[in-house]
Structure 1
Amino acid sequence: MLNDNRIRIITGHYGSGKTEFSVNYAVKLAEQGKKVAIADLDVVNPYFRTREKIDFLTEKGIKVLGSSIKGLAADVPAVSPEILAPIQDKSYQLILDVGGDPIGAKALGRYHNYFIEDEYDMFFVLNANRPETQTPEKAIQYLKEIETASRARVTGLINNTHLLKSTTVDEVLKGQKLVKEVSERLNIPIKYVAAIESVARELPKDIEGEILPIKMYMREEWMM
């Protein structure tokens, strides 16, 4: 995580777990003593949004930016202009949680002039259990569409193949095969392999990509 560029853009298909990854990533940076901001740029999907955990993240010392309309009951496709501050302020480690389809990714495109090569990373989260991205061909097509819509280049892949709390090592390794093929075809490195903590401990130590144990912050205890 210390080797990533200051601005980290997290994107991927709905259900890939990109928001869960984003929140875990932000928390881990904060635990390292970093000055962290996380921005919710998902203006399409009203569920499992970063801003739902604003109290929790604020307690961790993380600045949360999202809709310009205050209050969870008001869900409008608007992004706060405050996002420009941590984009330009290099004292921040910034995570941008982007909408999970090409339409949602357009919200990122308005900021493309601020993204200088070698100053940002855009990570594409893949979950091999999502029908729309469960083959290399489908995943690559989706990735390319997001790049076009966001006007930014994917610099790393994340294997986040899961079945929520029923995830097994075999599931993660199944996803790794998909991500590895996408990586080889596009010459994009595998940056992270994300898995719930009990599974992450059992993954092969030589797996390609950094193993990132995650907690399920975005799902309440009563949820599967």
Structure 2
Amino acid sequence: MKRFNIFAGNYGSGKTEISLNTALALAERGNTTLVDMDVVNPYFRSAESETLLADHGIRLIAPPYANTNVDVPVLSAEVMAAFESETAVFDAGGDPVGAAALGGLLAQFNTHRNETMLYYVVNARRPLQQTAPEIIEMMEQISGRIRLQVDGLINNTNLGRETTTADLAYGQEICEEVSRQTGVPVLYIAGKPEILAGFRPQGGNIPEIPLTIYTFPDWLVDDIHEK
């Protein structure tokens, strides 16, 4: 990971989970900021983990309408402070409209382009992410709105609690096809540690992002507690 890490992807890709896990890992090395740029989608947002982040000394910057159902793409000037951090993570919107907010930071990203990575997260078990053409079309739309080229793919293929290594392997095949067609490399494989361990013999030397799951809808939290 670099100093400034942007995670984009369609809804259900798991970009927010990866953003949280990355911010927590980077915080062990120094001052870290997490910027929740998802100004449209009110669900599964980094801003919902404010207490967790604060407990680890991570500064959270979120739009004024974070944690509401108000779909108003307004960004705070506070976002600029992220570029003064030792490291920062940007959780992008989950569609071209949501991702457009990041385009407003193009000058800052260009100034630090050598220190910036734009990752596109893929969950090939979710709609609009199940084939290479679908992924490429959405990736190009989101990249166009952010106005940065995607630097690398992250295979985060999963079915939640039903995930198997076969799901991750399937996603890897799709991501490699996207890479062949676009030239964008597959830089990471993400997943729960037990899934990564089962996949590892097939995965080669691609670095892993072990995930602890922090974002749950209320109904799933209740279901977990009951069990």
2:68 is equivalent to residue 84 of structure 1: no
Deviation at 1:8, TM superposition (A): 0.6
Q: Pick one of 108, 113, 117 that aligns with 1:114.
A: 108
Task: Find the counterpart in structure 1 of residue 161 from structure 2.
Answer: 165
Deviation at 1:76, TM superposition (A): 5.2
Task: Find the counterpart in structure 1 of residue 7 from structure 2.
Answer: 10
Deviation at 1:65, TM superposition (A): 0.5
Task: Find the counterpart in structure 1 of residue 188 from structure 2.
Answer: 192
Structure 2 residues not aligned, in runs of 5+:
none
2:98 is equivalent to residue 98 of structure 1: no
The separation in 1 between residues aligned to 2:120 and 2:64, in whole angstroms, is 26
Task: Find the counterpart in structure 2 of residue 179 from structure 1.
Answer: 175
Once the two structures are superposed, residues 107-158 of structure 1 have per-residue CA deviations (whole angstroms, 9 ceiling, x without a partner) of: 0011101112322100000000112121111111111111111111100100
Task: Find the counterpart in structure 1 of residue 211 from structure 2.
Answer: 214
> Which structure has more helix as a fraction of its residues?
2
* Cα 1:27/1:156, change in 2 over 3 Å: same
**Comparing 201-210 with 21-30, which one deviates more in the overlay?**
201-210
* Cα 1:100/1:74, change in 2 over 3 Å: closer
Task: Find the counterpart in structure 1 of residue 200 from structure 2.
Answer: 204
* Cα 1:52/1:136, change in 2 over 3 Å: same
Structure 1 residues not aligned, in runs of 5+:
none
The separation in 2 between residues aligned to 1:73 and 1:102, in whole angstroms, is 20
- Asked whether the 8 Å contact 2:42–2:68 carries over to 1, the reply is no
- Asked whether the 8 Å contact 2:30–2:87 carries over to 1, the reply is yes
2:176 is equivalent to residue 142 of structure 1: no
One-letter amino acid of the structure 2 residue matched with residue 96 of structure 1: F
* Cα 1:223/1:209, change in 2 over 3 Å: farther
Counting only pairs closer than 5 Å after superposition, residues 114-133 of structure 1 correspond to structure 2 as 114-116=108-110, 117-133=113-129
The separation in 2 between residues aligned to 1:140 and 1:73, in whole angstroms, is 31
TM-score, normalised with respect to structure 1: 0.91
TM-score, normalised with respect to structure 2: 0.90
